[in-house]
Amino acid sequence: MQRQQTLYRKEAIDYQSSDKLGTAILLPKRQHILVSLALFSMFGAGMVALANSSFANKVKVKGWIISPEGIHSVNHFEASGLVSEVLVKDGELVEKNQALLKIKRTQAFMQGDELLQQNRITLEARIKNVGMLLARHEAKTINDIVHQNAHLKRLLSAEDLLREQHTLLTEQIKVMSQQSTNYSALVSDRLLTQQTLDTHMQKLAEMEMRERQIQVELLTTAQNINAVEQTIAQLEHTQNNFELEQQATINNLKLELASHSQNNEYTVYAPKAGKVSALQVYQGSDLSKHKTLLKILGERQQHRAKLYIPSASIGLIEHDQTVTIRLDAFPYQQYGAIEGQLTQVSQSVLMPDELPANPLGYQQPVFEALVQLKQTGIKVDGRSVGFKHGMTFEASVKLDDRNIIEWLLAPIYRLKGAL
């Protein structure tokens, strides 16, 4: 009982103390509240930005521009010789099998065979004479055809005039025949004299005779026209046959000339159509000092880009991915970059000893890829400069777009996958 009284007195004393001193409430300052709200707002905005922002995952590789039809190097057939004649110029467009250079073998060129040279001169003179004969015959045939065409034109004009006269005369005869019937009736009724009727009938007979003469003239003119047309056709046929015969003679002489010349000279021909590039030789050049005579670029101007992708970077590269190209010859800070799209990715690796000659000199296993460029050149000072075969560049292949939060959490994802 004594213990309960003690507790009651203590509570009473405590109550009295609190009544005298009051209750203390601690409140933060206003500026602290504002700073806290700003920090929370910034943290929230940062989280939203992290959730919505993304970056492109890219792989950087190197490559070079290639001609769509490739570039073909033209080499000589033998180890020695001299260029006797250059038949093309650098930058000139050539057709397939067009003659590019004439090469003299050094030994035959130095020795010189007088009999061979005399035979060459004789054959060349015969070829020239046959060519002149063919030209004279062709000129005469053309002149004859011109005269025959002029004669044909006159006959056709005469035929048109006769047809007009025949049409007009036929109408007049028709009208006069009707008048004759009317005149006969008038004579029967004694309203017109017999002499007038006779005069009319005589004129009608003359017109009918003239109409028959015109028919004969039309027939004769048609026969003449047919004869002239046959003459023109015969002239053309004769000229064609003569030309074929003389051309065969020229070809035989050229073959004979070639057989005389093959021991000391040969001709280099274009293996494909395109543009001559990197012409290395001129008349008198020694072939022993030039492995490649010239190069021929393809005709089409839509270049592509070739990439050699190291095997360590091939994993996520696929068809149709976007490629950003920065040419070494045109700094992208000044001229910008060009876009392209992957059109082909090889399915097998190329070892260093399997790689063809390339300007990058790769010495590691790579995969070959082709990129279709979205433009044919680059703007330089307001004008378009076309791409050239062999231009090197650095390219970025866009693999995918990643959320920044995913990127930050990537180590955790990898750890989870490892577990």
Residue 154 pLDDT:
93
Please tell me the least confidently modeled range out of 50-54, 80-84, 120-124.
50-54
Residue 209 pLDDT:
92
Per-domain boundaries in the chain: 2-52, 57-68+302-418, 71-106+267-296, 114-261
Helical (H) or strand (E) element with 74: strand 71-75
Residue 213 pLDDT:
93
Number of neighbours of residue 366 by Cβ within 10 angstroms: 25
Residue 281 pLDDT:
86
Residue 249: band (very low, low, confident or very high) from pLDDT cuts 50, 70, 90: confident
Are 281 and 291 a contacting pair, CB within 8 Å? Answer: no
Residue 378 pLDDT:
85
Distance CA 368, CA 348 (A): 9
Residue 168 pLDDT:
92
3-class secondary structure per residue, 263-328: CCEEEEECCCCEEEECCCCCCCCEHHHCCEEEEEECCCCCCEEEEEEEHHHCCCCCCCCEEEEEEC
Answer yes or no: same fold for 57-68+302-418 and 71-106+267-296: no
The correct CATH number of 114-261 out of 1.10.1270.20, 1.10.287.1490, 3.40.30.10, 3.30.950.10 is: 1.10.287.1490
pTM beyond 0.95, yes or no: no
Report the percentage of the chain scoring pLDDT > 70.
78
Q: Which CATH superfamily is domain 57-68+302-418 in?
A: Efflux pump adaptor protein, beta barrel domain (2.40.30.170)
Residue 419 pLDDT:
40
With a CB cutoff of 8 Å and minimum separation 6, the contacts of 103 are 76, 77, 78, 81, 82, 83, 84, 265, 266, 267, 268, 287
Highest mean pLDDT pick, 25-29, 87-91, 258-262: 87-91
Please tell me the least confidently modeled range out of 4-8, 279-283, 302-306, 359-363.
4-8
CA distances from 167 to 170, 208, 217, 353 (A): 5, 12, 14, 91
Q: Closest by alpha carbon to 225, among 157, 154, 146, 155?
A: 155
Between helices 114-188 and 194-261, what is the axis angle to 10°?
Answer: 170
The mean pLDDT value of the chain amounts to 80
Residue 110 pLDDT:
44
Class in CATH terms, 71-106+267-296: mainly beta
Query: How confident is the model over 65-113, as pLDDT tens digits?
Result: 887 666 777 776 665 678 888 899 988 888 888 888 888 776 544 444 5
Q: Is the pLDDT of residue 155 over 50?
A: yes
Q: Which of residues 115 and 194 earns the better pLDDT score?
A: 194
With a CB cutoff of 8 Å and minimum separation 6, the contacts of 364 are 310, 311, 352
What average pLDDT does range 351-366 have in this prediction? 78
- For residue 1 the two structure tokens come to 């009982």
Q: What DSSP string runs through 132-196? A: HHHHHHHHHHHHHHHHHHHHHHHHHHHHHHHHHHHHHHHHHHHHHHHHHHHHHHHHHTTSS-HHH
Residue 88's SS3 state is coil
Query: How confident is the model over 285-328, as pLDDT tens digits?
Result: 887 777 788 888 776 656 788 888 888 888 888 888 889 999 99
Question: Cα angle at 378 between 372 and 380, to 5 degrees?
Answer: 175
Highest mean pLDDT pick, 56-70, 339-353, 401-415: 339-353
Number of neighbours of residue 228 by Cβ within 10 angstroms: 20
Residue 299 pLDDT:
64
What average pLDDT does range 111-137 have in this prediction? 75
Residue 65 pLDDT:
85
In sequence order, the β-bridge partners of residue 12 are none
What average pLDDT does range 197-224 have in this prediction? 90
Q: Is the pLDDT of residue 413 over 80?
A: no
